[in-house]
Amino acid sequence: MALEFSKPLSSHTTPIPGVVLYDLPVHGDNRGWFKENWQREKMIDLGLPDFRPVQNNISFNEKAGTTRGIHAEPWDKFISVATGRIFGAWVDLREGPSFGAVFTAELDASQAIFIPRGVGNAFQTLEDNTAYTYLVNDHWSADAQGQYTFLNLADETAAVQWPIPLSQAELSDKDKAHPRLAQVRPMAPKKILVLGAGGQLGKALRQVYDGDTSVEFVGRSQFDLACEESFRNMNWKNYSTIINAAAYTAVDTAETPEGRAAAWAVNVNAVARLARVAVEHDLTLVHVSSDYVFDGTLQAHSESEPFTPLGVYGQTKAAGDAVVSVVPHHYILRTSWVIGEGNNFVRTMATLAQKGIRPSVVNDQVGRLSFAQDIAAGIRHLLDSDAAYGTYNLSNDGEPQSWAEIAADVYELTGASRDDVTGVSTAEYFKGKAAAPRPLNSALELSKIRAAGFSPRQSGEALTAYLK
């Protein structure tokens, strides 16, 4: 079979999600031929995942009819023929609706195919002295074979039509002993790791991902962000994404010497470790930020506004954002006035209303509540939709309000009188108290998150549902 020279680089989708067949540019003359087997920039522009290969392996087969597979390895592969010709068969062995899907094709030296982790691949050589190469994004080891998923080459469900009958082909005894599809345990997807699972956002993420076994939740007792050993003990190859829902949030205590050290340890030093892990293992890092990275002099804050933090807490959150921003695959979710399960402003006001207490509440700090349920839903939306990486503002929607106005809403919704709430200035409220400076305007522009397909609930609707 003669090579077709001067074909342009092109891609062809297949019935298996993520499996893509490529025509490679091959240039030839009377001396032979030359091909661009792997060209990262061009192939990424064409849509090939930037899977960061680390090892290249070659399989040489002396005789036509040599048949290998069906093996699903725990890494991605870019496979191409070096010499000769093969018949390839690929079967989806991943958990999910495409489990069992089959694709077959003949490949020569002018073609290549990308096979994602968990898709079983097999080859039958059609010519003597055939060699093909594997470009993979993990280092092969004998231990890794325990993570393989196998399917019998003769499986009746996949029903691969081998050009050379298996009875006449060269097979290994191991390949002959692989299970049929009904006995195959599908390869589980890489996991999402949620840090800070015991906090308000962590609890909301548990609800959003309820029943999803691919999401792992860990609290401080299982993973201490301040402990280097926690990072060393994790097998990061098993994860695709880290959601960092942990943070130091004691705004006023952060102004003390002890609090300053603790805030920097959790909000910056630990985040730097997470960023390093994400870069080294090509993970997506989801990080939750705060309106405190701004000084509040603007009426509303966009994602591109420069940092102008007023206090230590805001400084540590801004530093954490800067660190995360260098991770190639990152989402920074900037929130304000978070309300979730546990102690928070809304719960406090509802309790005061029930006790008949008439509080004084700050009326010159303006913003929107961010219910943890909506933040969690927004995070899942960005991940599920493969939204563009970057920073997104995410609070609830609606007209910005002061703390005093929100407190009055809580009083009214719990059956008390709005007039029981008295508004006072920030300066008056904190007079004689040790307190961190606070931004007076915390409203976040939400156009970017809406453009990504996520519409946060109106604050009033969310507050009513929360109090019920």
User: Among all residues, which ones are annotated catalytic?
Assistant: 71, 134
Q: How far is CA 53 from CA 50, 75, 114, 282, in A?
A: 9, 10, 12, 11
Half-sphere exposure of 412 (CA within 13 A, CB side): 11
Strands 119-125 and 86-92, how do they pair?
antiparallel
Q: Can you give the C-alpha Rg of the chain in angstroms?
A: 28
- Contact call for residues 276 and 328 (beta carbons, < 8 A): no
Look at residue 390 and give its three-state secondary structure: strand
DSSP symbol at 236: G
- Contact call for residues 435 and 428 (beta carbons, < 8 A): no
Look at residue 73 and give its three-state secondary structure: coil
Distance between CA atoms of residues 383 and 95, nearest Å: 18
Strands 366-367 and 191-195, how do they pair?
unpaired
In the chain, DSSP finds a helix count (H) and a strand count (E) of 13, 25
Distance between CA atoms of residues 130 and 82, nearest Å: 7
- Contact call for residues 245 and 205 (beta carbons, < 8 A): yes
Sign of torsion over alpha carbons 164, 168, 170, 176? positive
Q: How far is CA 375 from CA 26, 212, 258, 462, in A?
A: 49, 18, 30, 12
Phi, psi of 131 (to 5 degrees): -130, 140
Q: Which residues contact 62 (CB under 8 A, 6 or more apart)?
A: 128, 129
The sheet that has 149-150: what strands, in order across it? 102-107, 86-92, 119-125, 67-72, 149-150
